[in-house]
Chain A
Amino acid sequence: MLTIHCPNCGITAEETEFHAHGEAHLKRHGPGSSDDQFEEYLFMRENPKGVHFERWRHQNGCGKWFHVARCTMTLEVFGSYSAQTYTPPQEILDVIEDRRPGWSKKELAQ
């Protein structure tokens, strides 16, 4: 059972209150983009063993979206942050660096 913090309403609750919606920071390419780019956006996923950034929704609470940094090998939650960003904020990256020394940013989804 994960314990997750919602940065929108400030509540920390167990995972049954939330719903996971897959990888965060996917880039949706605009008009004129190629089939490959559209396929990347719709289907291709990092699916990493380790640090994963993902979208969650506070389904049985405030109903708003946010992002969570989590480890898929240990289920450790590194922290939550606003969905209004293209990249994870520095404080989240600092927590990850602290907990997973040597983890590098290049594992991020392109």
Chain B
Amino acid sequence: MKKYSVFAVAREALRHHTGWNRAWRDAQPKKRYDVIIVGAGGHGLATAYYLGKNFGITNVAILEKGWLGGGNTGRNTTIIRSNYLQDPSAAIYEKSRSLYETMSQDLNYNVMFSPRGVIMLAQTEHEVRGYKRTAHANNLQGVPTEFIGPEKVKSLVPIINIDGPRYPVLGGLWQARGGTARHDAVAWGYARACSDMGMDVIQKCEVTGINKVNGKVTGVSTNRGDIECDKLGMVVAGHSGHLADMAGFRLPIESVALQALVSEPIKPCMDVVVMANTVHGYMSQSDKGEMVIGGGTDGYNNYTQRGSFHHIEETVRALVETFPMVSRLKMLRQWGGIVDVTGDRSPILSKTPVDGVFINCGWGTGGFKAIPGSGWAMAELMAKGQSPLTDAFGLNRFQEGRFIDESVAAGVAH
């Protein structure tokens, strides 16, 4: 792999950019791997990357039925924050956020992490109390956040309307080290690094069955033939239930559509991320100048990657109320992704009833921010059979009633 640097750019500029290579190999499946990861989205690629980097396991294939990063990795609103209420969540999300800070250097790939700050608006008394509680919890967890008043919100976000008719802004939970990153670059950067370690990123390779002998996984069947493996990691977000069904177990997960939309590019007007959970809308401005907008999920099971129009309407209505200038914007694109939601709105990183099969799913509406931390923890779980970051996120928590309840802190928007 050629290292990307300012010198490489200068060198290539002098020779008409003829010297750039493919970022990752177009690999063909081998007969056998030590580890197969199903799903080449952010979480799957990060898992493979940390398996190689932290544990030296590089005989790894990452199988993807579509194209790399074409699922929720390419469909989210790229928000990164770690201001969660419960300790296990704060641990893994904060690990993730801190890994984002050095990711561009680690991967030698510019993921454009921009720690511009995230505000979660408090627009009801209930939210004020909830966010104050979260700020206190975060202080104990060592995650720097603070509760700020409406004047501070207005000074950070001049375009906001803080005395709205329905829900005036009463304050906000401010995480200065939160922000955004370039979502595609995260997938591409990990893929390039994985490929460089000798791993095979295999696209258009759909898993059609999971092969077991005596309750232990031996490999997978795919549309490109059978592939053997010792360990299998399922990291397929919305399609986890489908894959678990192939392996012969069920999950406490339902798949629903979450939508986002993006406006025409405009001049810089907002340099933080704003989330308004009461009215169901969140917005940030991309480096291109587009306003990136996300909303709530549809209420019913859905695998179609498109959602109901009335949810878009609801989100836009909420944003027009909070940011009156949005009413003059034209929207460019709108899309949906299928998110896997658990009962307590926390992820599952766990062993499964099938020996050698590990699952990483249930990130629901907020997986992007967790990509590096999730990969780090999942790699440790797969390599060592146990990880301090994943202990609390086991499948057994649903049977034991040991929930990590983030539905108040994070049930609507991420």
Contacts and interface: CB of A to CB of B under 8 A. Distances in A.
A72 to B, nearest CB: 5
A2 B304 CA distance: 13
Contacts of B302: 72, 75
A46 B304 contact: no
Contacts, number: 66
Say whether chain A's binding surface is mostly helix, strand, loop, or mixed.
mixed
Which bracket fits the contact residues of B?
20 to 34
B314 to A, nearest CB: 10
Contacts of A45: 241, 250-254
B310 A43 contact: no
Nearest to B400: A35
A74 interface: yes
Contacts of B308: 1-2, 15
Nearest to B302: A72
Interface string A39-75: 1101111111100101000000000000000101111
Contacts of A92: none
Nearest to A68: B300
Contact of A20 (B300, B343, B399): B300
Interface string B6-34: 00000000000000000000000000000
A20 B302 CA distance: 12
A48 B309 CA distance: 23
Nearest to A52: B301
| Interface secondary structure of B, over-half rule | mixed
Contacts of A29: none
A44 B303 contact: no
B254 A44 contact: no
Interface in B241-273: 241-242, 250-255
A74 B398 CA distance: 31
A70 B299 CA distance: 14
A91 interface: no
B398 A42 contact: yes
Interface in B386-405: 398-399
A15 B307 CA distance: 12
B343 A42 contact: yes
A2 B253 CA distance: 23
Given A16-B310, A35-B399, A43 B252 contact: yes
Interface in A23-45: 23, 35-36, 39-40, 42-45
B254 A22 contact: yes
A72 B257 CA distance: 10
A49 B251 CA distance: 14
Complex A-B, nearest 6 residue pairs according to Cβ-Cβ distance, in ascending order: A43-B252, A47-B241, A20-B300, A39-B399, A20-B299, A43-B398
Interface of B: 239, 241-242, 250-255, 299-304, 308-310, 342-343, 398-399
Interface of A: 1-2, 15-16, 19-20, 22-23, 35-36, 39-40, 42-49, 52, 54, 70, 72-75
27 contacts: A1-B308, A1-B310, A16-B310, A20-B300, A20-B301, A35-B399, A39-B252, A39-B399, A42-B398, A43-B252, A43-B343, A43-B398, A44-B251, A44-B252, A45-B241, A45-B251, A46-B250, A47-B251, A47-B253, A48-B301, A49-B242, A54-B300, A70-B300, A72-B301, A72-B302, A73-B304, A74-B304
